[in-house]
């Protein structure tokens, strides 16, 4: 992490994240029926956007790897999958918190939710494969897996297309979306996409360092974070309508923020500890 551009971008991103969050909580008008609980959209949707960019990155980097066998492509592929899994994890956590308020249930097996879960599972299995394959064959096997995973997604969508979905339809650019809300949403999309790409950059540099000292296999993303997420979720487990009305919309928003930032911060801590470990190893073998 020697590049000053990284730190400049980091400052801008932190500013944008703060600005986006301020806008989401204070400026955007409350939704007519969902109230504050709807504000979860302002980080649910951007996280999904960022994750899909990262998964596409994984696909193209894997293709590049199969073609050229370049270690840079391999590092990009693993970055795309791992950071993508974290951001998509955020989508899968913040969505149910909102759904518990709006639909009264955390999860329904409808088209959109099922395909999302399968997408996430596919990339988790990609990471598991990377983690447990033998050193040397990891990159090739992982690239082959990434091809099949990317191939599976259109099929999963197809297989689900005749099921109805409860999930809200895309609204950006349509007259159904309040322009004030749209502006806030776009700010947040910009902020979280930059955030994702910066984390990806950080992760990429780590992978390159790791490749240099021949540490090719990976930690599974977000290990143990799921435990931390249980705490805020426990609040809403009773299916008691009176209680649900008592726990105001506002609490759902707060719970969403806690859960989501637990994931982000947990992942950053994980990356930080990995960096420390790599630095120690690099020093031990005299790399720098």
Instruction: Compose the 223-252 pattern: x for residues touching other proteins by CB under 8 A, - for all others.
Output: ------------------------------
With CB under 8 A as the contact rule, the residue among 25, 34, 72, 147 that binds other proteins is 147
Do 94 and 41 contact (CB within 8 A), yes or no?
Answer: no
165 touches other proteins by CB under 8 A: no
Alpha carbon distance 187, 181 (integer Å): 10
Nearest to 35 by CA among 95, 87, 85, 102: 102
Q: Whole-number minimum distance, CB 177 to other proteins, in Å? A: 32
The answer to whether 89 touches 222, Cβ cutoff 8 Å, is: yes
Residue 154 or 173: which CB sits closer to other proteins?
154
Least distance CB 134 / other proteins (angstroms): 6
Of the candidate spans 145-153, 167-175, 224-232, 258-266, the one that interacts with other proteins by CB under 8 A turns out to be: 145-153
Closest of 22, 177, 188, 19 to residue 90, by C-alpha:
188
Q: Which value, in Å, is the radius of gyration of the alpha carbons in the chain?
A: 20
Nearer Cβ to other proteins (55/187): 55
In a 13 Å sphere around the CA of 152, the CA atoms on its Cβ side amount to: 16
**# of chain residues touching other proteins (CB under 8 A):** 28
**Coil/strand/helix, residue 190:** helix
User: 97: Cβ–Cβ under 8 A, 6 or more apart, which residues?
Assistant: 40, 106, 232, 233, 236, 252, 255, 256, 259
Q: Please report how close the Cβ of residue 122 comes to other proteins at its closest, in angstroms.
A: 5
**How far apart are CB 6 and other proteins at their closest, in Å?**
34
- Regarding 40 and contact with other proteins (CB under 8 A), the answer is no
Applying CB under 8 A, which residues contact other proteins? 66, 118, 121-122, 124-125, 128-129, 132-134, 136-137, 140-141, 143-145, 147-149, 151-152, 155-156, 158-159, 162
């Amino acid at each position: 992490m020697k590049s000053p551009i990284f730190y400049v971008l980091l400052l801008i991103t932190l500013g944008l994240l703060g600005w986006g969050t301020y806008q989401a909580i204070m400026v955007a008008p409350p939704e007519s029926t969902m109230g504050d609980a709807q504000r979860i959209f302002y980080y649910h949707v951007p996280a999904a956007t960022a994750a899909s960019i990262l998964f596409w990155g994984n696909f193209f980097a894997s293709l590049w790897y199969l073609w050229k066998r370049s270690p840079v492509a391999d590092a990009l592929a693993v970055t795309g999958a791992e950071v993508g899994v974290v951001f998509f994890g955020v989508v899968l956590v913040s969505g149910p918190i909102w759904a518990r308020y709006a639909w009264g249930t955390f999860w329904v097996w409808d088209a959109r939710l099922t395909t999302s879960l399968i997408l996430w599972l596919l990339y988790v299995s990609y990471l598991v494969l990377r983690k447990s394959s033998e050193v040397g064959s990891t990159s090739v096997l992982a690239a082959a897996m990434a091809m099949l995973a990317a191939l599976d997604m259109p099929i999963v969508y197809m297989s689900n297309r005749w099921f109805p979905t409860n999930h809200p339809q895309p609204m950006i650019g349509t007259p159904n979306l309040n322009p004030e809300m749209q502006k806030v949403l776009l700010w947040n999309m910009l902020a979280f996409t930059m955030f994702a790409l910066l984390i990806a950059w950080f992760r990429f540099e780590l992978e390159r360092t790791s490749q240099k000292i021949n540490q090719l296999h990976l930690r599974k993303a977000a290990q143990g974070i799921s435990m931390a997420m249980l705490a805020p979720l426990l609040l809403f487990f009773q299916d008691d309508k009176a209680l649900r009305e008592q726990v105001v919309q506002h609490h759902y928003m707060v719970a969403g923020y806690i859960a989501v930032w637990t994931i982000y911060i947990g992942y950053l801590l994980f990356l930080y500890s990995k960096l420390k470990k790599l630095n120690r190893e690099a020093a031990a073998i005299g790399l720098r």
